[in-house]
């Protein structure tokens, strides 16, 4: 019994730590989808690119994943803005709002982008690669707390807090929120909708790629280009829907929920992470039935 | 101050406006009245830049702004209070007001202007932290006018400020508009509530089926027998 309690507490702590990093990768999607109204099917591929960014910074610069976060974030910002001007600008220019047709355009164009990225990645990187970084662990009672996961969790929550501050406390951030609600009305405020959409999408990609760097700490078998996109994109969508699209702290609530269900759940499911992940995804059904606006009000 | 010259405009092939010419003079309140569907709101969209005309010119302070996008017109001092108010429902009343000060001319003086908007509409000070979507129609109209004022505009363009608000508040809103105009602000207003609008106006235009059919000082327009019958339903 004491053994089980120790196991349970360990999984509880690990679940919360994992939840934080899942939250931050989903947060990137939350911004792109909930705020900029772009359905980014290539989300998983940008998480993967963020992870590779961290890998190359480690390989050539000796950076640990935490140090590569700001660099990945900067690259993500540029990539996101490039994506907006390359793929979406012509479709969205002059539109009064993101109608269904425009959302479908984003869906199809990001799906195409996802295929391109994943196939190039698989042809370049045939084997999973990993980052060797183990800052150790602290023993808290019966529970070992890995410092790597702890640091990553702190940075993840800080990133979410930063985006929330930006969106609620600055003129540009509020303009992005207003853009989501009524595009012509933002123009009447003197807000250039092109700038606001580009910054919003850039910010989403920025967080996504930074999240990819943070995720590497949780990839013990290394970065596998055949798996990252397929696994983490759907989880991100589930987290965003759980927390409520467009709600910044919804990402954290959804991420912690999924992290806990996966880690604590596998304890009761014979140690099967796959089964626990399936259960985590299934939580979508009751949420969509009873609280379609997400856990957060 | 602001002039439309020979404006023709419409939506996807249907022509709504035909050869519209009007002028809002500096320091004056100009109103545009007419029945539903006459093209009043469309005319304002041509002015604020949300609709680009197929012909004619929009001239503001001597400059041709016909091809300038909506957000730059706002930054130059044309503040709009659009049809249906178009507040950002998920932002608070104050969040909406502050966003009105987005352009450089408004941002520099945002705090002072905010205080003056609260002085103009004391009710908003109490409702500052309420989401705009939860405000009453009258309060929403106050926020919409306040939001437009936050940009420190040269001209205030109002689309049907009396629409969807309690009759008691309508006269209060008109009083406030008159107060702003007395404070030196140029006002251009579209109204269906022609009688009340003309009472605070310096000059009026009457629209019908996409054309300007009459213009003149308000007392002359109010005197015209046929106008009374057609638009005011006063026997």
In this predicted model, what pLDDT tens digit does every residue of A73-110 receive, in sequence order? 999 999 999 988 988 888 777 666 666 777 788 888 88
The answer to whether residues B41 and B144 belong to one domain is: no
Is residue B20 classed as helix, strand or coil in its secondary structure?
Answer: strand
Q: How far apart are CA B133 and CA B131, in angstroms?
A: 5
Candidates A181, A182, A188; nearest CB to B74: A188
Q: What is the pLDDT of residue A221?
A: 84
Query: Which residues of chain A does B103 touch, with a Cβ-Cβ cutoff of 8 Å?
Result: 189-190
Residues A225-233 have a mean pLDDT of: 88
Q: Which of A169-183, A246-260, B178-192, B212-226 has the lowest mean pLDDT?
A: B212-226
The answer to whether residues B65 and B92 belong to one domain is: no
CA distances A175 to A31, A166, A183, A250, A257, Å, are: 14, 11, 10, 20, 30
From chain A residues 216-255, the ones with a CB under 8 A of any chain B CB are none
Looking at the complex, report in whole angstroms how far the Cα of residue B32 sits from the nearest Cα belonging to chain A.
20
Q: Which of A111, A119, A122, A102 is nearest to A42 (CA)?
A: A111
Q: Which residue has the tokens 């991420």?
A: A255
Task: Output phi, psi for A209, to 5 deg.
Answer: -70, -35
Q: Does B131 touch chain A (CB under 8 A)?
A: no
Q: What is the pLDDT of residue A30?
A: 94
Whether residues A177 and B90 touch (CB distance < 8 A) is answered with yes
The answer to whether residues B231 and B212 belong to one domain is: yes
Whether residues A188 and B98 touch (CB distance < 8 A) is answered with no
Q: Which of B100, B134, B152 is the last residue of a domain?
A: B152
For A277, the token pair is 């992940």
Q: How far apart are CA B166 and CA A179, in angstroms?
A: 29
From chain A residues 121-160, the ones with a CB under 8 A of any chain B CB are none
End-to-end CA separation in angstroms for chain A? 39
Q: How far apart are CA B132 and CA B127, in angstroms?
A: 9
* Residue-range definition of the domain harbouring residue B209: 1-77+154-235
Candidates B90, B100, B151; nearest CB to A181: B90
Count helices and strands in chain A by DSSP H and E runs: 13, 2
Q: What is the pLDDT of residue A129?
A: 87
The answer to whether residues B68 and B165 belong to one domain is: yes
Q: How far apart are CA A170 and CA A199, in angstroms?
A: 13
The answer to whether residues B127 and B215 belong to one domain is: no
DSSP per-residue string spanning A15-60: HHHHHHHHHHHHHHHIIIIIIT----TTHHHHHHHHHHHHHHHHHH
The answer to whether residues B145 and B163 belong to one domain is: no
Q: What is the pLDDT of residue B235?
A: 45
Whether residues A185 and B82 touch (CB distance < 8 A) is answered with yes
- Per-residue pLDDT band for A68 (boundaries 50, 70, 90) equals very high
Whether residues B89 and A181 touch (CB distance < 8 A) is answered with yes
Whether residues B69 and A187 touch (CB distance < 8 A) is answered with yes
Evaluate if residue A235 carries a pLDDT over 80: yes
Q: Does B48 touch chain A (CB under 8 A)?
A: yes
A175 to chain B: closest CA residue: B99
Name the DSSP class of B130. S
Q: How far apart are CA B232 and CA B191, in angstroms?
A: 12
CA B11 to chain centre: 21
Q: Does B103 touch chain A (CB under 8 A)?
A: yes
Q: What is the pLDDT of residue B225?
A: 63
Residues A203-208 have a mean pLDDT of: 96
Query: Which residues of chain B does A178 touch, with a Cβ-Cβ cutoff of 8 Å?
Result: 88, 91, 99
Q: Which of B114, B134, B152 is the last residue of a domain?
A: B152
Query: Which residues of chain B does A193 touch, with a Cβ-Cβ cutoff of 8 Å?
Result: 71
Residues with Cβ within 8 Å of A1's Cβ and at least 6 positions away in sequence, in order, are none
Contact B189, B110 (CB under 8 A): no
Query: Which residues of chain A does B90 touch, with a Cβ-Cβ cutoff of 8 Å?
Result: 177, 181
Indicate the Cα dihedral angle A273, A14, A66, A39, nearest 10°: 50
Task: Output phi, psi for A266, to 5 deg.
Answer: -65, -25
Contact A201, A89 (CB under 8 A): no
Strand order in the sheet with B186-191: B78-81, B155-159, B186-191, B29-33, B203-208, B211-216
Whether residues B87 and A192 touch (CB distance < 8 A) is answered with no
Whether residues A184 and B87 touch (CB distance < 8 A) is answered with no
Q: Does A182 touch chain B (CB under 8 A)?
A: yes
Q: What is the pLDDT of residue A1?
A: 72
Q: What is the pLDDT of residue B138?
A: 92
Q: What is the pLDDT of residue A246?
A: 84
The answer to whether residues B161 and B194 belong to one domain is: yes
Looking at the complex, report in whole angstroms how far the Cα of residue B229 sits from the nearest Cα belonging to chain A.
36
For B71, the token pair is 């957000």
- Per-residue pLDDT band for A258 (boundaries 50, 70, 90) equals very high
Looking at the complex, report in whole angstroms how far the Cα of residue A187 sits from the nearest Cα belonging to chain B.
4
For A200, the token pair is 């919003």
Domain containing B39 — which CATH number?
Answer: 3.40.50.300
The answer to whether residues B71 and B91 belong to one domain is: no
* Beta strands, E only, A89-225: 137-140, 143-146
Whether residues B88 and A181 touch (CB distance < 8 A) is answered with yes
Strand order in the sheet with B2-11: B14-24, B2-11, B55-60, B63-64
A172 to chain B: closest CA residue: B102
Residues with Cβ within 8 Å of A217's Cβ and at least 6 positions away in sequence, in order, are A21, A65, A131, A133, A148, A149, A152
Query: Which residues of chain A does B48 touch, with a Cβ-Cβ cutoff of 8 Å?
Result: 188
The answer to whether residues B158 and B234 belong to one domain is: yes
- For chain B (235 residues), the mean pLDDT of every run of 10, in chain order, is 93 87 96 89 94 94 95 95 93 96 93 96 96 94 96 96 88 93 95 87 92 91 70 52
- Per-residue pLDDT band for A201 (boundaries 50, 70, 90) equals very high
Bridge-partner residues for A137, per DSSP? A146
CA distances A160 to A150, A179, A244, A249, Å, are: 16, 20, 14, 7
Candidates A175, A182, A193; nearest CB to B86: A182
Candidates B70, B101, B147; nearest CB to A187: B70
Q: How many domains does chain B have?
A: 2
- Cβ neighbour number for residue B183 with a 10 Å cutoff: 10
Whether residues B75 and A177 touch (CB distance < 8 A) is answered with no
The answer to whether residues B52 and B8 belong to one domain is: yes
For A11, the token pair is 């999984």
CA distances A190 to A151, A167, A195, B114, Å, are: 41, 18, 12, 17
Q: Which of B84, B93, B46 is nearest to B67 (CA)?
A: B46
Q: Does A185 touch chain B (CB under 8 A)?
A: yes
Q: What is the pLDDT of residue B230?
A: 60
Contact A52, A124 (CB under 8 A): no
Q: Which of B128, B152, B176 is the last residue of a domain?
A: B152
Q: Which residue has the tokens 């992290």?
A: A259
Q: How far apart are CA A30 and CA A33, in angstroms?
A: 5
Q: Which residue has the tokens 């352009």?
A: B103
Bridge-partner residues for B8, per DSSP? B55
Query: Which residues of chain A does B80 touch, with a Cβ-Cβ cutoff of 8 Å?
Result: 188
The answer to whether residues B201 and B146 belong to one domain is: no
Candidates B75, B86, B95; nearest CB to A190: B75
CA distances B111 to A170, A174, B104, B127, B192, Å, are: 14, 17, 13, 17, 34
Name the DSSP class of A223. B
The answer to whether residues B103 and B113 belong to one domain is: yes
């Amino acid at each position: 019994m004491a053994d089980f309690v120790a196991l349970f507490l360990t999984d509880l702590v690990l679940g919360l730590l994992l939840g934080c990093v899942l939250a931050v990768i989903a947060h990137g999607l939350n911004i792109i989808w909930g705020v900029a109204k772009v359905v980014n099917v290539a989300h998983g591929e940008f998480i993967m690119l963020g992870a590779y960014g961290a890998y190359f910074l480690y390989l050539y610069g000796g950076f640990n994943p935490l140090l590569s976060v700001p660099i990945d974030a900067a690259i993500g910002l540029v990539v996101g803005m490039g994506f907006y001007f390359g793929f979406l600008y012509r479709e969205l220019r002059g539109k009064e709002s993101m109608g269904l047709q425009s959302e479908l355009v984003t869906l199809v164009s990001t799906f195409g982008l996802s295929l391109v990225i994943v196939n190039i990645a698989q042809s370049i990187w045939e084997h999973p690669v990993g980052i060797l970084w183990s800052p150790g662990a602290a023993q808290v009672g019966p529970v070992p707390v890995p410092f790597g996961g702890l640091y990553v969790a702190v940075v993840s929550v800080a990133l979410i807090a930063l985006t929330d501050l930006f969106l609620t406390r600055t003129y540009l951030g509020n303009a992005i929120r207003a853009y989501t609600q009524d595009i012509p009305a933002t123009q009447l405020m003197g807000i250039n909708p092109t700038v606001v959409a580009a910054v919003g999408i850039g910010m989403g990609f920025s967080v996504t790629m930074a999240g990819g760097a943070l995720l590497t700490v949780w990839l013990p078998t290394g970065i596998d280009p055949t798996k990252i996109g397929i696994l983490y994109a759907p989880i991100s969508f589930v987290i965003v829907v759980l927390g409520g699209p467009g709600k910044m702290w919804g990402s954290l609530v959804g991420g912690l929920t999924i992290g806990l269900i996966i880690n604590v759940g596998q304890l009761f499911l014979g140690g099967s992470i796959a089964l626990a992940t399936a259960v985590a995804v299934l939580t979508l059904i009751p949420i969509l039935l009873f609280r379609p606006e997400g856990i957060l009000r | 101050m602001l002039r439309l010259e020979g404006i023709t405009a419409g939506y996807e092939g249907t022509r709504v406006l035909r050869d519209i010419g009007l002028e809002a003079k500096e320091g004056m309140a100009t109103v545009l009245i007419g029945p539903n569907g006459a093209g009043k709101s469309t005319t304002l969209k041509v002015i604020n830049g949300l609709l680009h005309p197929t012909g004619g010119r929009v001239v503001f302070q001597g400059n041709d702004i016909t091809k300038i996008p909506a957000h730059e017109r706002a930054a130059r001092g044309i503040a709009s209070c659009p049809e249906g108010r178009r507040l950002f429902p998920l932002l608070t009343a104050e969040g909406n007001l502050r966003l009105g000060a987005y352009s450089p001319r408004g941002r520099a003086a945002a705090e002072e202007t905010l205080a003056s908007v609260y002085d103009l509409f004391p009710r908003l000070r109490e409702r500052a932290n309420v989401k705009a979507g939860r405000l009453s129609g009258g309060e929403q109209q106050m926020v919409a006018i306040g939001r437009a004022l936050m940009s420190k505009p040269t001209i205030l363009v109002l689309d049907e400020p009396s629409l969807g608000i309690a009759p008691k508040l309508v006269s209060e809103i008109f009083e406030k508009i008159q107060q702003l105009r007395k404070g030196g602000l140029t006002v251009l207003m579209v109204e269906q509530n022609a009688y009340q609008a003309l009472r605070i106006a310096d000059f009026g235009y009457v629209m019908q089926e996409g054309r300007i059919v009459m213009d003149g000082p308000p007392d002359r327009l109010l005197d015209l027998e046929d106008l009374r019958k057609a638009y005011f339903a006063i026997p």
